[in-house]
Structure 1
Amino acid sequence: MLVFNIYLMKKKLSLIFTAAGLLLFTNACTDLKEEVLDETLSVELSDQAAANGLIAPVYALLPNLFQHTTYFALQEITTDEAILPYRGGTDWGDNGIYQALHQHNTTSTDPNVNNTWNTLVQSISRSITAITGFKESADPNAAIYLAEARGMRAYYNLVMLDMFGIAFIKEDPGTTSKIVRGEEAVSYIESELLAIEPLVQSKTAVGPGRLNQAAVWSLLTRLYMNAGVYRNVYSPTIEFRPEDLDKAIQYSDKVIASGQAKLSADYFSIFSNNNHTNQELIFAVDQRADLNGHNRMAYFSISGDQFPLAEFPAANGTDGPGITSDFYQSWVQAYGAVDPSRDPRFYQQNMSIYTNAADTCINDADYKINRGILRGQQYGALRVNGAFTRCADNKLKVGKLTYVTRNRADLPVSFSELIDYTTAGSNYNTGYRVAKYEFSSKSNTGRNKGEADIVIVRLADIYLMRAEAKLRKGDAAGALADVNLVRASRTATLAPPALTSMTLDILFRERGFEFYWEMLRRTDMIRFGKYEGKWTEKTNSDVHKRIFPIPQTAIDGASNLPGYLSQNESY
Structure 2
Amino acid sequence: MNNKMTGMKTSYKIGLVLLLLTAGFVACTKKLDLVPTNDVTADAVYSTAQGYKQALAKAYGAFALTGNTGGTGSPDISTQIINDEGNSDFLRLYFNLQELTTDEAAWSWQNDAGIRGLKEMSWSANNPIVNGVYYRAFFQITVCNDFIRQSTDDKIASRGFTGTDAEEIKKYRAEARFLRAYQYWVLMDLFANPPFVDENSPIATGLPKQISRADLYAWIEAELTAIDGELAEPRTNEYGRADKAAAWALLARLYLNAKVYTGTDKNTEAITWCKRIIDAGYTLHPDYRELTLADNNLNADENIFMIAYDAQYTQNWGGTTYLAHGPAAVPGDISGTSGTWGGLRHPEQFTDLFEDPSGNTDKRAQFYTSGQNKQMTELYVSTDGYSSNKYRNKTRSGDPAPHADPNGNWADIDFPLFRLGEIYLIFAEAVLRGGSGGSQDEALDYINELRTRAYDGETDGNITAGELNLDFILDERGRELYYEAHRRTDLIRYNRFTTEAYLWAWKGGVQAGRGADAKYNIFPLPATDLSSNPNLHQNSGY
Letter in 2 for 1:171: E
2:523 is the alignment partner of 1:548: yes
Give the 3-state SS of the residue equivalent to 1:467 in structure 2. helix
Query: Structure 1 residue aligned with 2:331, among 296, 302, 306?
Result: 306
Instruction: Kindly state the Cα deviation for residue 40 of structure 1 after the two structures are TM-superposed.
Output: 6.6
**Alignment partner for residue 471 of structure 1, among 428, 432, 439?**
432
Q: What are the residue-to-residue correspondences of 1:299-448 with 2, within 5 Å?
A: 299-303=325-329, 306-308=331-333, 315-332=338-355, 341-346=360-365, 372-375=366-369, 377=370, 414-421=371-378, 426-439=380-393, 441=400, 442-448=404-410
Structure 1 residue 565: Cα displacement = 1.3
For structure 1, the residue ranges without an aligned partner over 5 or more in a row are 86-90, 232-238, 347-371, 378-413
Distance across 2 between alignment mates of 1:69 and 1:230: 24
Which residue does 1:485 correspond to in 2? 449
Q: Which amino acid aligns with 1:547?
A: I
Corresponding residue number in structure 2 for 1:246: 268
**Partner secondary structure for residue 134 of structure 1:** coil
Aligned counterpart in structure 2 of residue 277 of structure 1, from 298, 304, 307: 298
- Is 1:156 the counterpart of 2:156? The answer is no
Q: In structure 2, what is the Cα distance between the partners aligned to 1:565 and 1:557?
A: 9
Task: Find the aligned partners of 1:418 and 1:491 in 2 and give their Cα distance.
Answer: 26
Give the match's secondary structure for 1:330: coil
Counterpart CA distance in 2 for 1:289 and 1:201 is 28
Q: Identify, as 1 or 2, the structure richer in strand.
A: 1
Conserved 8 A contact 1:67-1:297 = no
Residue 243 of structure 2 corresponds to which residue in structure 1? 212
Determine which of 451, 457, 463 is the counterpart of 2:412. 451
The superposition leaves residues 30-81 of structure 1 with CA deviations (integer Å, 9 ceiling, x where unpaired) of x332353225798587521221132111111112576564011000000011
> How far 1:128 moved relative to its partner?
0.3
Change (3 A) 1:126 1:310: closer
Distance in 1 (CA, whole Å) between partners of 2:532 and 2:470 is 43
Q: Does 1:268 align with 2:289?
A: yes
Rounded to whole Å, the distance in 2 between the matches of 1:329 and 1:172 is 50
Please report how far the alpha carbon of residue 205 of structure 1 lies from its aligned counterpart in structure 2 after TM superposition: 1.5
Instruction: Map 1:195-234; keep pairs closer than 5 Å.
Output: 195-207=226-238, 209-231=240-262
Deviations, residues 488-547 of structure 1 (Å, cap 9, x unaligned): 244755465111221111110111010111100000100111112422111243221111
Paired residues for 1:138-217 under 5 Å: 138=161, 139-140=165-166, 141-167=168-194, 168-172=196-200, 174-175=202-203, 176-207=207-238, 209-217=240-248
Amino acid at match of 1:33: L
User: Is the contact made by 2:231 and 2:244 (CA closer than 8 Å) also made in structure 1?
Assistant: yes
373 and 272 in structure 1: CA distance in 2 versus 1, 3 angstrom threshold: same
Structure 1 match to 2:17: 11
Q: Deviations over 1:205-246 (max 9, x none)?
A: 225511111111111100100111112xxxxxxx552xx111
The answer (yes or no) to whether the contact 2:63–2:91 under 8 Å persists in 1 is no
Quick check: 1:134–1:142 contact (8 Å CA) kept in 2?
yes
**Offset at residue 171 of structure 1 (A):** 2.2
- Partners of 2:18 and 2:54 within 8 A in 1: no
Q: Deviations over 1:433-462 (max 9, x none)?
A: 0111112542445542x2111010100100
**Could you tell me which residue of structure 2 aligns to residue 514 of structure 1?**
480
2:306 touches 2:418 (CA, 8 Å); kept in 1? yes
Q: Rate the CA distance shift 1:143–1:42 in 2: closer, same or farther, 3 A.
A: closer
Higher-Rg structure is 1
Q: TM-score, normalised by structure 1?
A: 0.77
Aligned AA for 1:94? D
AA of the residue aligned to 1:28: K
TM-score norm. by structure 2 comes to 0.81
Q: Deviations over 1:62-102 (max 9, x none)?
A: 125765640110000000111224xxxxx44336x424101
The verdict on how the C-alpha distance between 1:225 and 1:208 changes in structure 2, with shifts beyond 3 A counting, is: farther
- Identical counterparts, % of pairs: 27
Q: Distance in 1 between matches of 2:50 and 2:372?
A: 51
Residue number in structure 2 paired with 1:128: 145
Alpha-carbon distance change, 50 to 69 in structure 1, aligned in 2, over 3 angstroms: closer
**Structure-2 change in CA distance of 1:56 and 1:488 (3 Å):** same
| Counterpart check, 1:525 vs 2:491 | yes
Distance 2:335 2:292 in 1: 20
SS of the aligned residue for 2:424 comes to helix
Computed over aligned residues only, the root mean square deviation of the Cα atoms, in angstroms, reads 2.7
CA distance in 2, matches of 1:326, 1:98: 20
Corresponding residue number in structure 2 for 1:387: none
Q: Distance in 2 between matches of 1:124 and 1:49?
A: 22
SS in 2 for 1:284: strand
Tell me, yes or no, if structure 1 residue 255 matches structure 2 residue 277.
yes
Compared with structure 1, are the counterparts of its residues 37 and 44 closer, same or farther at alpha carbon in structure 2 (3 Å cutoff)? Answer: closer
